[in-house]
Amino acid sequence: MSYVSTLRQWDEAMVCVETKDIVSALRILLEIEEKTSKINFNIGCLYLNKNELDAAEKAFDASIGKDQHLAVAFFQRGITFFKKERFEESLMDFQQAFKELRGNQLIDYKPLGLMYKLYACEVLHNIGLVYAQMGKWENAQENLLSALNLRTESKLSHIDKALESILKQKLFPLVVIRPELMFKPNKHYVAELEKKDYLGKAKVISSVVAADTFSGFAPLQPQVENVPSTPKAPEVMRALEGEPHTVLYEFIPETTEELAVLPGNIVFVLQRGTDNWASVIFNERRGLVPYNFLEPLDITVATKMVQVAPSSSNEDIPAPPRREAPSKPLGKAGQKTITTETKAAVDSSKCIVKVHFLFTISVCIAPGQPYDTVLKIISTKLKQPASTLTLSYFKPGSTEKATVNETEMEVVWGYMSNNRLTLWCSATRDNSVSQEKVVALYPYKASTPEDLEFAQGDIITILSKVNDEWLEGECNGKSGIFPSSFVVKHED
């Protein structure tokens, strides 16, 4: 399915949400073949509003799997677990949402299409409520006092009421997101989906010249004096006067002076300012785009590639593009993808082990396997050294986690129910393994709280790989994500 089709269905579903046709909205979103993290988040919200908690949990799992730094998805899944009375898992998700705030008081999701601000104080409010449900009143009071210190607006007065309830050892309402709030597609991209009639309809007009007897659609026009010697060049031809550049990253405008562009677009830079903004022309429209989102395009390469026969000169062959096209997973035509749960359903001798890490994964393991085997399977799935991982679990009726070891693993298998088992995993830094370091080729300005800002030449320590285009790293005492194309491997 093309991006245009996905965008059209996404927008159609959001129209249904506005008209409160939840059934149609959910049906349209589920029909989208390649669901993004935002679309999976919307599906989870619709299921959560219908109180279909199992389906909501699965959708939020998919959203986090696509974007492991989406704090609001952890927040919503925490609410889902809370309503399912799975308080330990709810607490972990709320704590992860707070971690993804990275010390900021809030994250404003408006630039991403969600009209919602996730406040750190409200995340701590829900953490306090979970502790209260578990009977840990001191922990609940501690988190609510922290929430009170982080409160930024007077409208968040419910935190004061929650603290009063905690002092009386009474429960208080959960902070939830309004049902109608969901990620919406960019309105500029949606507007481009509509067909435009640039020519208009033909009109029969009369000539303004008295001696003109011509009849038709384009009569003679009166002569004017002082005609310029050269006609004015149209905007399209004037674009060739600028320098051609390729767009590297999607840019969403926030003001009327800015211009929306997508990766792969060719723009012409007319002027580059000292503030790192460039005045460009794209599709006969002029606007501002961050210059570090662009890459100069050598149009002479295209003329060299259309030669019929190779040249006899010893000119160097142009290098291939530095960015390779993404490849799709291999598979037979017409064959459906078999998920971990489907495999387990086919083979009843397997157990689905759900592991809560920084994100949630599922692995298929034969029951009764020793601890070393289980740890190796999980470490391979997480791409983390087994020596840095620690497994734990909740015993039935207990609120404290117990560490899993060789002898304890036999007890853990006894708690398996319906071929399912839940474990928790934590990681410690392995000092014996040197972490990869990279050096910044270009400066990177943070546009969201999750980004890591650095200057050209800074040394960055790689913490993890988010996907093929983004990395998570640490620099100058701060951590965050950044484009992998901005750095190269650091040679000691």
Q: What share of the chain is helix, strand, coil (3-state, %, to 5)?
A: 35, 20, 45
Predicted structure pTM score: 0.44
| All domains in the chain, ordered by first residue | 3-167 (1.25.40.10), 237-300 (2.30.30.40), 340-427 (3.10.20.90), 437-489 (2.30.30.40)
Q: For residue 310, what pLDDT is reported? A: 45
Q: What is the pLDDT of residue 252?
A: 81
pLDDT for the residue numbered 327: 41
Cα 9 to Cα 377: distance, rounded to the nearest angstrom: 39
> For helices 87-100 and 71-83, what crossing angle results, to 10°?
160
> What are residue 243's DSSP bridge partners?
269
Under 8 Å between Cβ of 108 and 152: no
Q: Which positions ≥6 away from 133 have C-beta within 8 Å?
A: 82, 87, 171
- Enumerate residues 6+ apart whose C-beta is below 8 A from 177: 45, 72, 75, 76, 79, 116
Classify 482 in phi/psi space as left (phi over 0), alpha (psi -120 to 50) or beta: beta
Q: What is the mean pLDDT of each run of 10 residues along the chain (492 residues)?
A: 80 91 92 91 94 94 92 94 93 93 89 90 94 92 89 79 87 91 86 64 57 53 56 50 82 83 86 83 86 76 41 47 41 41 48 76 84 89 82 81 86 84 77 71 82 90 81 84 88 72
**pLDDT value of residue 226:** 58
Name the residue type at position 491: E
